[in-house]
Amino acid sequence: MRSPKFFRMFYYDHSLLPNAQLRNLEADANSIEDAKRLSGFSIGWPGWSLLYSIVLSNIPPGETALVVETGTNQGATTLVLAQALVDRGVINPRVITFEMLSENLSTARENWAKAGVSRFVRSFLGDTRDTLEPALMELVEPHSLRFVLLDASHLESDVRREFETVLPYLASDGIVAMDNTYPIAEEGEDPRVNGFLSTITERYGGNLINFPFCSWFTPGLAIWQREPDLSAMHHLP
């Protein structure tokens, strides 16, 4: 495994964060160790801003909308996604999120309550091998998702499995974001997220954009979109 790289920032204007609870969590975070303690293994700044802006910009106001996240951890990124839906003015904003560790989910629920977004979040505890597909079948219409964040296991096979599970539920112009994209593996090791992304457009088509200088161990945040909805431009006022 290559040496870790860290592009999560700490010295920035915390008033830019979209939620007061997130500002509280970041107020005393001056190092990676602080961040682990206060907000867990979250993407951090500027990744939070990137995700917030994408959700805000890719979901039209006045419609019913939900987003899906795997890898809740302590819920910091979840509340960013929920806040984006609320600020966008969608009808019945919902984030469906999946976490494997009960202690993480307990902390996440406390954070959501303090952030005022609990009513917009539905969480599932357990391995996404067992929980993701049944939850999607129950809660999501095919071809309706506009945004998905995959940030649970970073092993190549796990990322591919989650991606292929959400794909039938993704709108044609929907976006899948994947964290930890840096090629951290040495020869012979699992290529992880980077390995999956190296073949994503060949296997599934679409377009891929990578933002390398955000997040941390492993850095990088990638955005995949199958097909941009250029027809929507004709309906703008």
Selection from 171, 180, 184 nearest residue 220 by Cα: 180
Cα(129)–Cα(228) distance, rounded to whole angstroms?
A: 29
Question: Which pLDDT score, from 0 to 100, does residue 235 have?
Answer: 45
Contacts of 14 by beta carbon, 8 Å cutoff, 6+ apart:
23, 26, 27
Residue by residue, pLDDT tens for the chain (237 residues) are 888 889 999 999 999 999 999 999 999 999 999 999 999 999 999 999 999 999 999 998 898 999 999 999 999 999 999 999 999 999 999 999 999 999 999 999 999 999 999 999 999 999 999 999 999 999 999 999 999 999 999 999 999 999 999 999 999 999 999 999 999 888 889 999 999 999 999 999 999 999 999 999 899 999 999 988 776 554 455
Which amino acid, residue 72? T
Domain spans, the chain? 14-232
Question: Which pLDDT score, from 0 to 100, does residue 237 have?
Answer: 52
Record the pTM: 0.95
CA angle 54, 57, 63 (to 5 degrees): 115
Looking at the domain covering 14-232, what would its CATH class be?
alpha beta
Q: Please, are residues 146 and 175 in contact by the beta-carbon 8 Å criterion?
A: yes
Question: Which pLDDT score, from 0 to 100, does residue 232 have?
Answer: 59
Residue 174 exposed, middle or buried by CB count within 10 Å (0-12, 13-18, 19+): buried
